[in-house]
Chains A and B, each alone.
Chain A
Amino acid sequence: MLKVQQLTKSFGKNEVLHQISVDFPEHETTVVLGPSGSGKSTLLRSLNLLEHPESGQYAFDNRHFDFAKGITAKDTLMIRRQTEMVFQDYNLFPHLTVLKNVMEGQIQVLGLPKKEAEAKSWELLKKVGVASRAQAYPSQLSGGQAQRVAIARSLAMQPKYILLDEPTSALDPEAELEVLKVLKQLHEENRSLVIVTHNLAFAQQVADKIVFLEDGQILFNGTQEAFFSPKQTSRIKTFIQAMTFAQI
């Protein structure tokens, strides 16, 4: 279980998240929606401790942390190990081959022997459909391939949660489809996923839960049936219409 309560984060004087409380159930796919600048990335990055919110509680399984008191380096490493991040612009390691990108964390962080890490990496690259590019460098990949490698890299760490920040926003529709297929498969395997996306059609297919953020506050937190229901508030209806280009 991953949960934050009363989470507040500012950049300088600009308070970006205002006392947010939300939980991300295990083995479910939580989709985070919201307009640009609403704080979606900041929320996701806070879960991985790439951002340090100034106050709020953070619960991971049975461990409880208080952002105001700070989280020790050791706990930070533990949490990061269990929550992998997939970025919009992939952030693969350019100096390592695709295979080594997937092996790196297993060897350096999990301490697996090289042989074992390599076998596991091949398996994961097959799973995401880029095994044929295992010996290529990231600069030689298409965007869709690169993002699937990034997903394999995060899976390799056997994390409890995978956090994906607009994983398909930099891709053309066909490459996006390839990545979404992989994500849908992960969803069907009942992995714990948190996905920030602007793709409502995809959200509708995979979301067990939807969180809608606006101006650093949660306007909706519930099932996707409720989110897309006709009885929804007018603000969210407008958002859905805009995102699906229902009225141009």
Chain B
Amino acid sequence: MWSIIIKALPQLIAAGIKYTLPMAVIAFIFGLILALITALVRLSPRGGAFNIIKVIFRFYVWLFRSTPLLVQLFIVYFGLPYLRWAPLWPNGIKLGALTAGIITFSLNTGAYASETIRAAIASLPRGQWEAAYALGMTKRKVLQRIILPQALRVALPPLANSFIGLVKDTSLAASITIVEMFEVSQQIAAENYQPLLMYSLVALLYAVVCSLLSWLQGHLEKITSRYVLKRP
């Protein structure tokens, strides 16, 4: 048994380093940027024509939260090539598997994380905005210096949840031909007829990564909560 594990482990780890982790990290970064923009648009007090933009972002959040991630991956990778529209895409939208995966994971994470960030910003007292505005800060400064640092503390645990979820969800990319960790475990299992062992091994690898992330989360929570009084 050990010889099988020792043989499979390097291949799994290599796939993890080459695909699973980069996909998760890149998609999370894009997702966060998208989430922040979405949250700010939806919280903006601006009305008028801006309402159209708000509706578009609301639709985006609704779309990605209301459909399964696996289906989203299939639409982007297998479906979009059939979206033929003469002015822009006469031959449909053909994306590489990795690009399609990262785009879908980013959009999906962005939709969920935008709700987290929106709630975190909305949870701050109005007085924080007012005190910062009264000093004469621009809205940009108020957000950068006063609101977002405080919102980050509130949003950190749910965002860490999203990231951990994303790391595991990248295993769905196996279904769009990406040879990430889970796909490699399937290939090895098909060769050595040890599905229980192989899938347990890959599960363990996911668990190790996610445990490290949980630990990191705890550490970051401590840092960002420095200023909060500890409960007795």
Q: Is A108 an interface residue (CB 8 A)?
A: yes
Asked whether A95 lies within 8 Å of B130 as measured between CB atoms, the reply is no
Of B127, B133, B228, the contact of A80 (CB 8 Å cutoff): B133
Cβ–Cβ < 8 Å partners of B227 in chain A: 94-96, 137-139
- In the complex, A48→B141 CA distance in Å? 18
User: Which A residue sits closest to B141, measured CB to CB?
Assistant: A108
Contact with A along B135-158 (1 / 0, CB 8 A): 111100100011001100100000
Given contacts A137-B226, A139-B227, A139-B228, is CB(A50)–CB(B134) below 8 Å? yes
- In the complex, A245→B103 CA distance in Å? 69
- In the complex, A78→B138 CA distance in Å? 11
Q: Which residues of A contact B (CB under 8 A)?
A: 48, 50, 77-78, 80-81, 83-85, 87, 89, 91-96, 104-105, 108-109, 137-140, 153, 157
Given contacts A91-B131, A95-B227, A108-B145, is CB(A77)–CB(B136) below 8 Å? yes
Q: How far is the CB of A165 from chain B (nearest CB, A)?
A: 10
Q: List 23 A-B contacts (CB under 8 A).
A: A77-B138, A81-B135, A84-B134, A85-B130, A85-B131, A87-B127, A91-B125, A91-B127, A93-B128, A93-B146, A94-B150, A94-B227, A95-B150, A95-B153, A104-B135, A105-B136, A105-B137, A108-B141, A109-B137, A137-B227, A153-B135, A157-B135, A157-B136
User: Which B residue sits closest to A80, measured CB to CB?
Assistant: B136
- In the complex, A80→B141 CA distance in Å? 14
Q: Is B229 an interface residue (CB 8 A)?
A: yes
Q: How far is the CB of B5 from chain A (nearest CB, A)?
A: 47
Cβ–Cβ < 8 Å partners of B228 in chain A: 94, 139
Asked whether B229 lies within 8 Å of A139 as measured between CB atoms, the reply is yes
Q: How far is the CB of A53 from chain B (nearest CB, A)?
A: 16
Cβ–Cβ < 8 Å partners of B150 in chain A: 94-95
User: Which A residue sits closest to B149, measured CB to CB?
Assistant: A95
Cβ–Cβ < 8 Å partners of A105 in chain B: 135-137
Q: How far is the CB of B61 from chain A (nearest CB, A)?
A: 28
User: Which B residue sits closest to A159, measured CB to CB?
Assistant: B136
Asked whether B130 lies within 8 Å of A50 as measured between CB atoms, the reply is yes
Given contacts A95-B150, A95-B153, is CB(A89)–CB(B127) below 8 Å? yes
